[in-house]
Each structure stands twice: as C-alpha cells, then as structure tokens.
C-alpha cells in the first residue's frame, strides 16, 4: 500500500511539473504575440507614411517613375507580408518573409532618399523634411520593437528547446519562433574606402 501511495505521489509530481512547463510555454508564446503586436503598430505607421511621402516627391521627381513604383511595390509587399505574419507571429516562415520584404522596402526607400539629393527644391521642401523625420523616428521605434520581439522569441525558443521542456513542447506541437531580421543589402556591403 505504501509503495502505491509513493507511486501516485510521484506521478502527481510529474504531472504537475508537466503542467507547469506547458503553462510557461503558453505564456511565452503569448508574449511573442504581444511583442509582435508592438512591431505591427510601428510597421503599420511606416507603411502609412510611405504613400504620403511618394505623393510629396512625385511632382519633383517626374523622371524617376521607376524608383517611385519600386517604393510603392515594396510597400505593398511589406503590407501583405505583415498581414500574413499577424495571423501567427510564431510562424517562422511568415516572419522570415516579412523580414525580407521589410528589407526590400528599406532598400527602395534608401534609393528614393538618395535620388532626392539630386533635387535641391525637394531637399528643402518642408513636407519632405517632415516625412524624413517621421520615417527616421519610426525606424528607431521599429528597431526597438524588433529587439524586444527577438528577445521574447529567444526566451520562448530556449524554454521550448531545453530538456525536459522539449518533450512537452514536442507533444503539444509548440513550434519554434523565428527572429525578425530586417536587413538591407547596403548594410552588408563593405564601403569602398580610398585614400588620396
């Protein structure tokens, strides 16, 4: 009889431990969703600024239609990928796709701002200066939100991959989340330095 009680007590401890692991995985997965919601707010703000920016520069950059179209196309792709990622922020593929489209949007905006340097009237335009300032501020907020999201993803993934948590995570199909990496090709290129 005593060994049976000890066995039941041991089973109860193991079950309670498993329930604790399961609940902590749920909590962390919900934190990932919450952290992504913060990114969503900032990216949506960024996406909403872009059509106004394009309208502001359209009159000045009549001959740069290709660049303006690239910005709008990249923005539309980023909006679409953001909507897909909102459905399940822990879906690694959707987050990777969002990171790629945001990187492409950043590159397109970079080309737009580089071209705007060739238009002195545009550089001095108050609307253009205001949009550049707002986009810069939004970019900083996106970077901060992305860092918070990635920190939360790290905590969630660590919890899901550590033993014995990985057993519970596997039994209940807790998929690993993916980091949101927004990289542009320009940031990875080595600058050409010449000494004269």
Kindly report, residue by residue over 74-118, the tens digit of the pLDDT: 999 999 999 999 998 888 899 999 999 999 999 998 888 888 777
84 within domain boundaries = yes
Q: What is the distance between the alpha carbons of residues 14 and 20, in angstroms, rounded to a whole number?
A: 10
Query: Tell me, what's the pLDDT at 20?
Result: 94
Q: Is the pLDDT of residue 3 over 60?
A: yes
Q: Is the pLDDT of residue 15 over 50?
A: yes
Kindly report, residue by residue over 133-187, the tens digit of the pLDDT: 888 888 899 889 999 999 999 999 999 999 999 999 999 989 888 898 876 555 4
Q: Is the pLDDT of residue 190 over 50?
A: no
Q: What is the distance between the alpha carbons of residues 120 and 148, in angstroms, rounded to a whole number?
A: 39
Query: Tell me, what's the pLDDT at 193?
Result: 42
Task: Categorize the per-residue pLDDT at 191 as very low, low, confident or very high, splitting at 50, 70 and 90.
Answer: very low
146 within domain boundaries = no
Q: Report the mean per-residue pLDDT for the chain.
A: 85
Q: What is the 3-state secondary structure (H, E, C) of 123-189?
A: HHCHHHHHHHHHHHHHHHHHHHHHHHHHHHHHHHHHHHHCCCHHHHHHHCCCCCCCCCCCCCHHHHC
92 within domain boundaries = yes
Please answer whether residues 42 and 138 qualify as being in contact, where contact means their C-beta atoms are separated by less than 8 angstroms. yes
187 within domain boundaries = no
Q: What is the distance between the alpha carbons of residues 98 and 104, in angstroms, rounded to a whole number?
A: 10
Number of domains the chain contains: 1
101 within domain boundaries = yes
Q: What is the CATH number of the domain that holds 113?
A: 1.20.1440.20
192 within domain boundaries = no
Task: Categorize the per-residue pLDDT at 195 as very low, low, confident or very high, splitting at 50, 70 and 90.
Answer: very low
Please answer whether residues 178 and 160 qualify as being in contact, where contact means their C-beta atoms are separated by less than 8 angstroms. no
Which domain covers residue 69, as residue numbers? 38-138
């Amino acid at each position: 009889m005593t060994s049976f009680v000890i066995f039941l007590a041991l089973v109860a401890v193991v079950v309670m431990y498993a329930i604790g692991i399961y609940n902590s995985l749920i909590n962390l997965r919900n934190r990932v969703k919450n952290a992504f919601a913060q990114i969503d707010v900032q990216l949506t703000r960024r996406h909403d600024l872009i059509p106004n920016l394009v309208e502001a520069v359209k009159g000045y950059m009549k001959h740069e239609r290709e660049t303006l179209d690239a910005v709008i196309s990249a923005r539309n792709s980023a909006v679409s990928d953001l909507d897909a990622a909102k459905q399940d922020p822990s879906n690694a593929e959707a987050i990777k796709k969002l990171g790629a489209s945001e990187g492409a949007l950043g590159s397109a905006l970079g080309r737009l701002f580089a071209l705007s340097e060739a238009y002195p009237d545009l550089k001095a335009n108050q609307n253009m200066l205001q949009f550049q300032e707002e986009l810069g501020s939004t970019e900083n907020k996106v970077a901060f939100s992305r860092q918070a999201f990635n920190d939360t993803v790290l905590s969630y993934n660590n919890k899901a991959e550590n033993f014995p948590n990985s057993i519970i995570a596997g039994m209940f199909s807790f998929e690993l989340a993916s980091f949101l990496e927004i990289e542009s090709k320009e940031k990875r290129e080595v600058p050409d330095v010449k000494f004269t």
